[in-house]
Chain A
């Protein structure tokens, strides 16, 4: 009984005294992160200033390597925190029991940003900044090639942008995965894939890391990129001639932080999370080299005038009701579909798209009903999917990717099927479009 009272008293005291005095963090706090030095350095500086005697040890790994690292070292964990963008990486860690529950004490943070919950409902990871997806482009490139400014995803499917657009493979970049998932949920399975594939017909390249896209746009190797907003904002802040726009079908998702199970310095880890969520920590996000959206609405008062504010601007991310459960069930299937239908078939897809563009240009000059019909058929051949939405999250197909109990087709078999499905149809589409072109001559 006495103990219980003491514990209760301590709890009350703790709440009353506020986060900074609740515990006295000391020593080394180790964080595994995918964020660049430009992001981590200002936070490290500010955090160490707020908590003298604490050092933040930053270990840089990309998100995938970081997850693998935490997984492989679980037996003798030396890492306190995991700090990265993609919520799905945190879902993986949580699913494997590698995260520790925590209840942040910070106040003034709403439950949702756009349609997306800021914190994990189960209390394993917490949003500390928000980001949306959109289109980034190099102004010099656009001017030299006389390309208009895009506004919507579908703009990128226009013939003018052929061979000028770049994206990271969703299987390689958690952020791009969410972009694709957002389009699919926002426009529906069939229409969404049609949009994605029509855009994909204009792809210059599908890169294997998220930063590959802004890197290529910054140096002008590619004109337009599908990226997460802060890549564009921080590039602008560094002086690169780039611009950025949020299309209407976008979603604002939080970047996250979590405590790793059996963290060697738990007090320090908690202190870091509280710092990130405090007004002082949130203000660090406004630094030009970071430029992410704070999740504390009050902090926007200190932001520059043109800073996007998802809490004020209703068009930012509110259109799409992003369903996390739907997304989670079919993650691997969406990635594999994208890779097999687009990434590894890009040549065929581009050839077909080019043929359609040529045919449509010719038809615009000299119309021909039969030619129009052929082009429509060609477009439909590109858009058609090897599986339906229901199949994508069915246990048979999802099981092939996660190693489920049911003995269905193996992943390699499915992938081969999808690849040849796409290859055949792209070839047919190209033939039809070429036929249409002949008719229009």
Chain B
């Protein structure tokens, strides 16, 4: 371990190019994250009415039962969601990466789909399946005269959040597992270690960067998420409290912004804690022997068990999407286990107008994803490989974006960029590129964590070797670091891309005309009326299919590149 630390000290030559790149990223974050958010959130530090600077609002926060209760509820829900999400993600990740398993690629893709839950319509589908009078409970009531409160109270939030966000762990853990060098495992096996012990003592610890990246994301995301608690009508959690206060008009109340400040602080703290947990440990492996873990063939009963577990988990986590699919074909679905009838009318209704939405969604989300992996890779590199002053701050600032409510970012953008006029007199904030930047900022933490974990697994000695052979820093990054990080970068891209594709809260403030609108916005306008439910669900299905197809393609690329790596060495 000491050796590892020493090695890390070794790679510190700070080039002017690096400093300039870091400064550019810092400027980007300052301009598009910190300034807009600060223009909104400074209210937390002012007295209502006079606007004088004060900390009294934080004092009030600590003295209000509701807020204190909300705080602890949020902590409880986030922690439990991480536990339950791990229960879903660990078997899927292990089975698909460690064993020869037919359909591993499909499972990786499907396991990823829960992350893409279109706003509103996803909630309706969930309620129709798992709600108090949803399919499951109506049938249970019919057969056994009992109901299970899946979606009630804090534990309901834990259940839904775990289903929704476990892909973060799955994606990052799988990328990490694939990156472990086979020689480590073989060495352990030669020393007589096998089975579960091998997994617990060697494989899992080596994959820890990926697991922690995913788990910390789940924790922070659940802590900051407001959509799910609100959909379950749980209001005494912190993020919903902030949202309810910020978006109610007529109440010029600083408390909403105080809560937002607390959310940001907790998010940074959680990220710092996960970084601290990794400090002083070296997870990199130097040799790139056989291209990732060896995949063991399973015995028959093992394979049966594996299929059973995989189908059980997939069935559970994909149930909401099945509900969505049913809803999109349903005529009327009300207080009954299944819809009254089926129709294609909803798809014909959205068919014409969905093209422009699809085009915009793919354009915005892929641009945002691209920006995110570029920034994510760069920030991860600066933090892990250089000694630039304040490099951690880049990481923390970017991660703080996770805690900024979308509506706060949206208002901040209007406030900061609406006054800036383009040559035609058009305000800068009305340009569609601003939607892309807002999406990129909001989804940057996902890509960043993935890139960070990928880089942690790469041994510095590989870069040193390249530099010893005469490669420049920039060339080393381009030819050695980035190719070795491919898996992590792509995992980051998928996370950012697919969640950006269904993002609504910031978009709602920034969309200026329906020709610039993404799918989530189109969905939103449908879901405000009873007749719009079916078409909304149809658009939701289109969104999920679209994102899933992109995720599948990306997985395919990962598999190919890993295969190629294995062959060439």
Contact = CB atoms under 8 A, between A and B. Distances in A.
Given A36-B526, A73-B427, A208 B335 contact: no
Contacts of A344: 66, 235-236
Given A138-B334, A220-B334, A402-B252, A36 B133 contact: no
Contact of B411 (A68, A239, A401): A68
A413 B334 contact: no
B235 A208 contact: yes
A411 B529 CA distance: 35
Given A76-B418, A141-B133, A36 B251 contact: no
B124 A219 contact: yes
Contact of A78 (B60, B251, B512, B527): B512
A140 B528 contact: no
Interface string A283-306: 000000100000000000000000
Contact of A65 (B56, B508, B528): B508
Interface string A38-63: 11000000000000000001111111
Contact of B255 (A78, A140, A412): A412
In this complex, the interface size class of chain A, counting residues with CB under 8 Å from chain B, is: 35 or more
15 contacts: A30-B513, A37-B525, A65-B247, A68-B509, A92-B249, A141-B133, A221-B132, A234-B531, A332-B250, A335-B251, A399-B49, A402-B252, A411-B251, A415-B66, A419-B64
Interface in A364-421: 399, 401-405, 410-413, 415-416, 419-420
A-B complex: 10 closest residue pairs judged by Cβ atoms? A220-B335, A403-B49, A36-B528, A412-B60, A36-B529, A235-B530, A72-B414, A140-B335, A403-B48, A205-B233
B292 interface: no
B531 A415 contact: no
B191 to A, nearest CB: 57
Interface of A: 30, 34-39, 57-65, 67-69, 72-73, 75-76, 78, 88-89, 92, 138, 140-141, 144, 169, 171-172, 205-208, 211, 214-216, 218-221, 231, 234-235, 237-241, 289, 331-332, 335-336, 343-344, 399, 401-405, 410-413, 415-416, 419-420, 423
A401 B251 contact: yes
Nearest to B247: A64
Contacts of B530: 214, 218, 231, 234-235, 237-238, 240
A336 B419 CA distance: 34
Given A208-B244, A234-B531, A343 B235 contact: yes
A84 B60 CA distance: 35
Contact of A57 (B64, B332, B335, B514): B514
B407 interface: yes
Contacts of B63: 412, 416
A37 B526 CA distance: 6
B164 interface: no
Interface string B329-360: 00111111000000000000000000000000
Given A58-B514, A138-B334, A221 B529 contact: no
From B124, B131, B334, name the one whose CB has the most chain A CB atoms within 10 angstroms.
B334
A43 to B, nearest CB: 14
B569 interface: no
A73 B336 contact: no
A60 B521 contact: yes
Contacts of B418: 72-73, 75-76
B356 to A, nearest CB: 14
Contact of B131 (A92, A214, A221, A413): A221
A346 B336 CA distance: 28
Contact of B49 (A67, A76, A237, A404): A404
Given A60-B525, A415-B66, 8 more contacts: A36-B525, A37-B528, A88-B250, A138-B334, A141-B133, A215-B533, A219-B133, A221-B132
A94 to B, nearest CB: 13
B498 interface: no
Contacts of A423: 65
Given A57-B513, A75-B419, A76-B419, A420 B235 contact: no
Contacts of B411: 68, 72
A336 B60 CA distance: 16
Interface of B: 48-50, 56-57, 60-61, 63-66, 124, 127-128, 131-134, 230, 233, 235-236, 240, 244, 247-253, 255, 331-336, 407, 411, 414-415, 418-419, 421, 427, 429-430, 508-509, 511-514, 521, 524-533
Contacts of A30: 513
A76 B421 CA distance: 9
A60 B524 contact: yes
Contacts of A235: 530
B249 A89 contact: yes
B478 to A, nearest CB: 42
A401 B525 CA distance: 32
Contact of A410 (B60, B236, B427, B511): B60
A1 B111 CA distance: 79
A56 to B, nearest CB: 11
A98 to B, nearest CB: 12
Contact of B64 (A88, A241, A415): A415
Contacts of B133: 141, 219-221
B171 to A, nearest CB: 31
A60 B132 CA distance: 31
A215 B513 contact: no
A305 B414 CA distance: 48
B54 to A, nearest CB: 10
Q: Which of A141, A206, A214, A239 has the most CB of B within 10 A?
A: A239
A140 B247 CA distance: 35
Contacts of A78: 427, 430, 512
A200 B484 CA distance: 60
A171 B526 contact: no
A289 B529 contact: yes
A403 B513 contact: no
Nearest to B524: A60
Nearest to A411: B253
Given A219-B127, A410-B56, A420-B65, A73 B233 contact: no
B64 A215 contact: no
A73 B413 CA distance: 11
Contacts of B64: 412, 415-416, 419
Nearest to A57: B513
B533 to A, nearest CB: 7
Contacts of A75: 418-419
A68 B40 CA distance: 12
A239 B248 contact: no
A138 B421 CA distance: 51
A205 B235 CA distance: 10
Contacts of B247: 64-65, 68
B407 A65 contact: yes
B124 A59 contact: no
A185 B236 CA distance: 30
A34 B252 CA distance: 22
B127 to A, nearest CB: 5
Contacts of B233: 205-208
Nearest to B128: A219
A35 B527 CA distance: 11
Nearest to B419: A75
Nearest to B421: A76
Contacts of B430: 78
B407 A237 contact: no
A240 B334 contact: yes
Nearest to B240: A208
A208 B250 contact: no
